[in-house]
Amino acid sequence: MRVGGHRMREHIRLLWPLLAFLAVVWLLRLTLNAAGLPLKLSRLFSVTTAGAVAVLLAVIRIHSRGLGGYTNVVVASLLLNAWGQLLIVAAIVFSVMTGTENVYTLPEFSGDGDDPLHLRHILGHLTFMTGLGTLMGAGVGCLMLLLLRMIVPVAAATNKDQVKGTRR
């Protein structure tokens, strides 16, 4: 399947450092909370904020490598936001399965506690947060790509295949 002229594998290859960045932020937040550090400190490592930063970095990578356009920004936003929300859901599911509490199941983040399986919280991340994050990231990312193209045009490649990023 091709999106914006590039296969999904090419999108993942472009985004893998940013996907790893999100996983590191997620792990840091879980670790800091498990170590008993104050919640103020673990709030510095927000997967949602890291996702927004990752989308902006993806736009820079897309522009600097000449690997696509606005459609590719939307795909990058979707992949990065979905990955971040899946990590959060994994932490919630792990907490429910083990009967322990982590930063993602604290009442401050997961609601009033009347849902012991955190199903509404999980569904919220899989639907609302993924959708809203993708839309916001795509909107800001596309605007950033437009500005980057106006300020720093991509150097014209001598070979048309280099611009498309295809191989022979």
* Digit-coded pLDDT (tens) for 32-45: 988 888 888 878 89
Distance between CA atoms of 60 and 81, rounded to whole angstroms? Answer: 17
Residue 57 has pLDDT above 50, yes or no: yes
Residue 166 has pLDDT above 70, yes or no: no
Query: What pTM was estimated for this model as a whole?
Result: 0.85
Length of the chain: 168
Given a contact cutoff of 8 angstroms between Cβ atoms, the answer to whether 141 and 76 are in contact is yes
* Digit-coded pLDDT (tens) for 139-159: 999 999 999 999 988 764 333
* Nearest alpha-carbon partner for 66 in 165, 137, 143: 165
* Digit-coded pLDDT (tens) for 122-136: 999 999 999 999 999
> What b/e readout covers 117-142, taking b as 16+ CB neighbours within 10 angstroms?
ebeebbebbeeebbeebbeebbebbb
* Digit-coded pLDDT (tens) for 111-123: 766 777 788 889 9
Distance between CA atoms of 47 and 94, rounded to whole angstroms? Answer: 17
Matching residue, tokens 């001598």: 158
